[in-house]
Structure 1
């Protein structure tokens, strides 16, 4: 989100600055057209860079992150996004409708966790079990299930493995749902506090007894 804000803000501010520098250089200082254009471009580049850095620093401060932490989180979010695409691709190749239905719900929860973490990067540390364990398990099991389920002939052993995989995926789904609740725990506590405070403010005051 901060990237989009940085680009839009940079463009809105940089264009007028670049135009002003060119007009001053060409008309007030009486420089040549090419030199005025060069100076305005340099000024625009410096302005855009300063704005981008300023927004980036404010973003890190707002989310209480160091540059090192944010780079680490961005790297892992990018890897998670790749894993989610793998999971989605594997799911769409499965013809077992019940398994597909159950795990499309799992995919929805996984995407929700990823969106929340992108919006609030500090939540990544609350979801480390998800990113370093549960997501990997979901992807690997789904890909293996997709591979086995598409085989034209299945023996008893293969059917048993598929059955066990379906059962394990239910356990993983439960774990990932708990991951989501854990990541959102701060929001739920904050909301509960606001609800309790609102109830307190709107609570009717008792009438004073007549003396």
Structure 2
């Protein structure tokens, strides 16, 4: 949404400048239509990208991130989105209802972390282990699990492997939930402070009323 609004702002400035440039080059400078059109396009493109640079710089400054850090986080988010898509694509390949529900919950938590970090890139550092280790493990284990489930032979060894994998995914799901709590820790701390302030404010009211009554 932010990028779309920035884009509209750039267009709102670039189009009038491009139009004004074209009018000036045609009616004042008396250039032919071809050269005037090129000048008009340049007159719109230049402010569009200059404004884009300033918008990005202002946004990164508000986040407290450098251009390199932002690009680094952006690349990792792009990779993690592909991994989450792979994870989600395996849900309906599992025949067990409980395992399907488990994988669905795991995917939901992973998507939640992804969207929070995408909205506030600075939180990426609170969930680095999720992006670099836990998400990869979840994808690999899920793909191996679905591969074994699809096998026509279900001997003791395969059944044990399936059970071990399911238990490991359950543990991994709990670990990723902890990662989500880390990402939300700032919001939780802020909420606690706001609640404390609200409670103190509510506690003062009866005292103030009693003083007024006196």
TM, length-normalised to structure 1 = 0.93
User: 1:87 — aligned with what?
Assistant: 87
**Worse-matched range after superposition: 157-166 or 83-92:** 83-92
User: 1:61 — aligned with what?
Assistant: 61
Unaligned 5+ runs, structure 1: none
Q: How do residues 176-187 of structure 1 correspond to structure 2 at under 5 angstroms?
A: 176-187=176-187
Please state if 1:117 is matched with 2:120. Answer: no
Query: Structure 1, residues 66-109: CA drift from partner, whole Å, max 9, x if none?
Result: 01111111111111111111111222211111100121011111
> 3-state DSSP class of the match of 2:90?
helix
CA drift of 1:209 comes to: 8.1
Unaligned 5+ runs, structure 2: none
TM, length-normalised to structure 2 = 0.92
User: 2:21 — aligned with what?
Assistant: 21
Q: In 2, distance between residues paired with 1:210 and 1:184? A: 44
Greater share of helix residues, 1 or 2?
A: 2
Q: How do residues 100-115 of structure 1 correspond to structure 2 at under 5 angstroms?
A: 100-115=100-115
Asked if the contact 1:2–1:55 (Cα under 8 Å) also holds between the matched residues in 2, the reply is no
| CA RMSD between the two structures | 1.7
Asked if the contact 1:2–1:56 (Cα under 8 Å) also holds between the matched residues in 2, the reply is no
User: 2:30 — aligned with what?
Assistant: 30
User: 2:44 — aligned with what?
Assistant: 44
Please state if 1:208 is matched with 2:207. Answer: no
**Worse-matched range after superposition: 103-112 or 194-203:** 194-203
Q: In 1, distance between residues paired with 2:201 and 2:43? A: 53
Q: In 2, distance between residues paired with 1:198 and 1:210? A: 23
CA drift of 1:144 comes to: 0.3
Please state if 1:170 is matched with 2:173. Answer: no
Q: In 2, distance between residues paired with 1:192 and 1:28? A: 65
